[in-house]
Structure 1
Amino acid sequence: MRDIFFIGWQDVRFQLRDGSTLLWLFVMPPIFFFFIGTVTSGFSSGMSGAQATKLTVVAENPGFLKEQVDLRLVANDFAPEWVESLETTAEKAPATRTLTFDAGMSNKVVAGEPVSVVYDTKSNSLTRTFEEIRIQRALYTVLADVIIADATAVSLTSDALAAVNEAPRVWALEVSPAGARQEIPSGFEQAVPGILVMFTLLVLLTSGATMLVQERTKGLLRRLASAPMSRGDVIAGKWQGRMVLAAIQVSTALVIGTFLFKMDWGPNLAAVIIVLVAWAGFCASAGLWLGTVAKTDAQAGGLGVLAANLLAALGGCWWPIEVAPDWMQVVQKLIPTGWTMDALHKLISFQAEPMSVLPNVLVLIVAAAVFGVLAARRFQYE
């Protein structure tokens, strides 16, 4: 056991002397936290605190209903800009979202004539659906306002609508969730766990694997072969060194995420740590295995970067997997990064019970054991 600890400690000391390892351990994670967190903040499924959506409202001679429509659009997180007609010039880019009313809509409503409304957007399908819901809610609210004003006033005017807006609400609707609220993780809630998972794998598949290749090509492993310690102790020590490196990466990300990015890890922090420990074990085994397979340190580094980025993208580390195509959501369930991100989102975003992630933890442990056995079988001193 002393030999195992000795080898592991020496490996960690050697790794922490390397500038590139320190860069990826301590400097790059917060940079990626900020960048990915800022980019994915637009995937939020709620609109509380969200930036108002710019909307070009095209209406020729809208009349007094303009103020009421504007009021309801603003209440649904839109920033309407009213124009009489659409004009696209070289200096002015075409509008990305337009809401077009029939000309003279107020006069038509007063006369009892129908008014058609057309919404056009260049947003993706998910955003388009959400925007359509908000616009429909705004327009139906305007319709209700018109019905009440017409029924309670002598004539439908801007003053009648103002009286409706100022009138006390007779009915109060209380809304409470029927179960656990499930929102798509976004912003730093998505970025911090995702980049943590990605960088742990990246560091172990690059630095962890490269170090073993260098030790083998430089003859350092041959010296261990002549030392009074078993082959099993050497392999266990190498695995332990990588496990400590993964633990440093996880701990650093936890601290930075908590204090710098105000990350809330949910009500079951202990379960989150258990998931991350299982993930660290898998990364340690995978890094050790890659080090036994690669022939050169350049090959180990290249394969490590490729595998880490590919698994991160498919596993939902870069963006919420819920907004990805169906085939990507299927792939996520088949790869280690997907198992880990699924468990973390259950605990952090959806506040599920700790037992719900037990299958994820068990499959990570099994995968770590499989890669550990494969690494042990391929391990060579030269």
Structure 2
Amino acid sequence: MANVRLEGITRKYNNATAIEDISFEVPDGQFWVMVGPSGCGKSTILRTIAGLDTQSSGNLYIGNTLMNGIPARARDVAMVFQNYALYPHMTVAKNLAFGLRMRGTDAKTMQERVETVARSLDIAHLLDRKPKQLSGGQQQRVALGRAIARQPQVFLLDEPLSNLDAQLRDDTRAELKQLHQQVGITTIYVTHDQVEAMTLADQIVVLNRGQIQQIGDPQTIYARPANLMVATFLGNPPMNILHATYTGEVFQVGNQSLSCPPALQEKLQLRQGQGVELGIRPEHITNKDEKLNTENEQEPEAFCRDGVLPLQHSLLIVEVKLVEPLGRETLIRANLPASGVPLNIQAASDWRGHSGDRISVQLDLNQLFVFDPTTGDALFP
């Protein structure tokens, strides 16, 4: 096992830059996840670490060894791809042993290691089968097992769960985390699924357009996103973003108003009269009795004076567009009436509103995020 260190890695294709100035270090034995939208450069980074792609500039170390120019076969890394890449004419046992055989491992050691790995992955009963006789989840375990059997210094996983159905993906994700705890191999995992990133990672590297947006443990990134991209990418449903104007003690959101907490007023002194982006997660929108009020005796316009709603402290009036019962909770998709800005709200499972309702919702103002509308950066770390 070994640490992996990237120093200023850049990869250009003709006139296009796939990744730019990528620098981070994965300590020995940790599980790091690179996450971001399609095309953000995460697979390019993984292929560069594996030696399947070559950086245009920068240095890559595995352990204390500089890997620049060293071919993939000499890097002692094992990579699991999205499509598993099993040999269809070989049995499970031969697939598991393939990497060992290519390294010239003796027959006894090879058999012992294959049997050990097969037991740990619960595929010992499948050793005589061929890939076409296996389910998707079983094939995925065989692909993992083939990599584990080699006992590499580093594990590289490129969206290995994306071909599985939802339930199997959840089960396999839990098994993968338990497996890492057992073997302790340094692991770098690529995914576009923020749930996988949050549940698997010791540390998350969030990427967008070939650049690192933020590195941190899952809870830190969720609680203190560095910018709008990170804030809206991690979290399901995503964070709500409301454009507002700060006017001293008040955020003006369309024709409605929200109080600005005293702690934020002090930090926003130089931004009076300026626009900001307010972020709040769906779970932080409710009302005083934790049930949304659907008794809409008055329309928002009834409160208006000169086209502006009076200060309602932490309340907004929204119009329900869609209600999605999810079992243990209900997701309400709503809009601000005047602007049509969307707002997602997590309500109790017994909420019984309907599309078209006007409801009054309360925001937990202590959970507000404030972002610069020009740069997208969080104004307060």
Task: Please report the TM-score for the alignment, with normalisation by the length of structure 1.
Answer: 0.21
The structure with the largest alpha-carbon Rg is 1
In the superposition, the TM-score normalised over structure 2's length comes to 0.21
Q: Per chain length, whose mean CA-contact separation is higher, i.e. which structure has more relative contact order (CA < 8 Å, sep 6+)?
A: 1
